[in-house]
Structure 1
């Protein structure tokens, strides 16, 4: 993990030598003339604070049949079929000790949990282009949940689980989802998790349903009411526990008015505010390399400065874009990854979740071999 050690070394040097200077010589690169300058680092002043376990990664639900832009890049990287017996995967997670892992993604709002209250057959996702996100409803068997938790316990990972927030709602042709959240299945799932003594760092409600949403959307006041319901469920089920999992929401794209209303109405019932950004879009752009290496294109401080106005009592985490869907870009992607990590920390983001740990052509680990990609070492 050479690059990671280098980063830690840089922090150490800045702390020791509170004032550092770097001279830059004049040169011409690709027709652009750079001038000599000096960079001053004031090690006495911090511009942001992060959690000790700032780095986070995600595991998704996408089945092998998930294909985009001519490639089917998820293979067996789903929470349902991931090889939990891989020592490479186990050791890759252990190396971060602890690594926050967010379990969720687009299909999480179509997942049922096969607890005692579930009266439907526990069927897996089936490709169907007429369905939202192109797949039917899926199901998490409890034996698989047991297997996942045994693996996470061995790895020392901190788990954030994304709950299905669309249960019980009606989805309309205009893209809106109405009605209150039916939390019965989620409540049963949380109860099962507590009875099995599984450690959960946080319960997150929904995926990309804020603002205009992706696939569908929920208005802020209803989402707030549902988050309060989740808070009450967790308080009740974890009654007497020394520590309780964090209540996390909404896990969607930042919309200033939507987020403001949501935060105002949830009050102290939410611990962590989460938002997603995809600065390079879906990653199919043929000019990705040029954009990644263009400082002005990477400058998304406007988005981050807006989210920094969220009350300081609320933590934040951020999802790295699904940024590389072209072969040969994994090293270049690290340029953006480091830029985003630094920028996010400057705007008081406490945890930064990389989409993904594995799968989708942009994972920290190779989808088939689990061998770390270059970004893993960044």
Structure 2
């Protein structure tokens, strides 16, 4: 009997979601199109290249860093890497990582130091000796530097930058501190550095936990857990607004799960629940740039280290970049906490673009999108028959529905409108082709799915 029960549970776990009984919830999402509540940089999407040495692996069978994934030895001339980057047209890439704090730059002529590669040494900070590639300091936020000392270092750095670029029309930004956010520490930092020293306040996020945590996978479909990090975004936004208005907030590094990510999770469809939700959340709180760890390297890379095949997160990031413009709009969602919803001004065209993430495996949603201003007017006067915030111009709505292959959340293959996104035989990226729907019809969001929806006829005055 025990065997039969176990077998039944096992079978249910792998039943395609189309067989399971499902509910359909109809609801209304209200978008405030009269004004933007936040604005991202044009190149909001950002990826990182890390510098871990090729022999970092302590477990060969579960090697976090492939021998050619580090920026120290990656071949950036490979066609697939070039095509993956060029698909964004413009893309910000942050180069660095944990070991940058132990790097020494070989600056060519005049360099008198010893130029040796990294060597493993578990008695040292970060488990490696110093290595010769780039100029580096000997301290880091991970080493618990006080905000007061860090502020003194930044003031000195500002003096150096201003002196070196005194007669230059362009001057590099000081982007700091690249730490895990602490409200008191960051507040003290901006107070003691003062105006126009730090151009960008960066922080790192690994809120999903350790990559080897057996409970990790359940957090991706838990809306309460995903929302917890919003307090970090909110606090940093307040610091910038009240104490450092000359600066802006960036996520300098975010990989979801730390320790190089999670094996067969970070490169699978379920990771997109966290990643795309956090992109929407970060933008909502006026984060200008969000750097995903990594482009290549680790389990959390958006291009698999050994094959360079794009993961579901890569395609999600590409759609976000192409469809969601810098202007962020406020959304009122009382339908369900399992339906994550974000709205932006559409990129380089009229209307709005929306991101829907359905964390539920039992409930589909049929959503009607309304404008807040139109609803307010309707409360004061009787609405005309058929009136809507969406013009009746006949322009169809674009929909991009992402689902996991075979309904398995841990699949590393993603479907766009039911068709697998795969490289062509020539190594080209697939076309991201939408389906078209009547703009006044309901938007249907399947269980365990993600949808980008472009509504060109939505009148959003704030986007003009």
The normalised TM-score by structure 2 is 0.58
**Structure 1 stretches lacking a partner, 5+ long:** 1-28, 142-162, 167-176, 178-205
The correspondence for 1:217, drawn from 132, 144, 152, is 144
Q: CA deviation at 1:105?
A: 0.9
Q: Distance in 2 between matches of 1:334 and 1:105?
A: 22
Tell whether 2:267 aligns with 1:338: no
Q: Distance in 1 between matches of 2:79 and 2:21?
A: 48
Q: Distance in 1 between matches of 2:116 and 2:24?
A: 59
Asked if 1 retains the 8 angstrom alpha-carbon contact of 2:105 and 2:136, the reply is no
Q: CA deviation at 1:32?
A: 10
Alignment of 1:261-272 (within 5 A): 261-267=188-194, 268-272=196-200
Q: CA deviation at 1:351?
A: 0.3
Distance change in 2, residues 1:366/1:92 (3 Å): same
Q: CA deviation at 1:131?
A: 1.6
Tell whether 2:213 aligns with 1:285: yes
Q: Distance in 2 between matches of 1:138 and 1:249?
A: 22
Q: Distance in 1 between matches of 2:23 and 2:249?
A: 39
Q: Distance in 2 between matches of 1:338 and 1:139?
A: 36
Q: Distance in 2 between matches of 1:224 and 1:30?
A: 57
Tell whether 2:254 aligns with 1:317: no
Q: Structure with the greater relative contact order (CA < 8 A, sep ≥ 6): 1 or 2?
A: 2
Distance change in 2, residues 1:41/1:239 (3 Å): same
Partner of 2:374: none
- Structure whose alpha-carbon radius of gyration is higher: 2
Distance change in 2, residues 1:322/1:82 (3 Å): farther
Q: Secondary structure at the match of 2:85?
A: helix
Q: CA deviation at 1:237?
A: 1.7
Q: Distance in 1 between matches of 2:94 and 2:169?
A: 23
Partner of 1:87: 79
| Residue correspondences, number | 284
Q: CA deviation at 1:85?
A: 2.3
Q: Distance in 1 between matches of 2:53 and 2:198?
A: 31
Cα deviation code 1:74-132 (max 9, x no counterpart)? 12211211112212112212222321111111100000001245422211111111121
Partner of 2:92: 100
Asked if 1 retains the 8 angstrom alpha-carbon contact of 2:240 and 2:249, the reply is no
**Structure 2 stretches lacking a partner, 5+ long:** 1-18, 317-464
Alignment of 1:56-67 (within 5 A): 56-67=46-57
Q: Distance in 2 between matches of 1:43 and 1:374?
A: 30
Cα deviation code 1:22-62 (max 9, x no counterpart)? xxxxxxx9999886532222222323110000011111110
Q: Tell me which protein shows more helix as a share of its residues.
A: 1
Q: Tell me which protein shows more strand as a share of its residues.
A: 2
Partner of 1:129: 122
Partner of 1:248: 175
Superposition CA RMSD, Å = 2.3
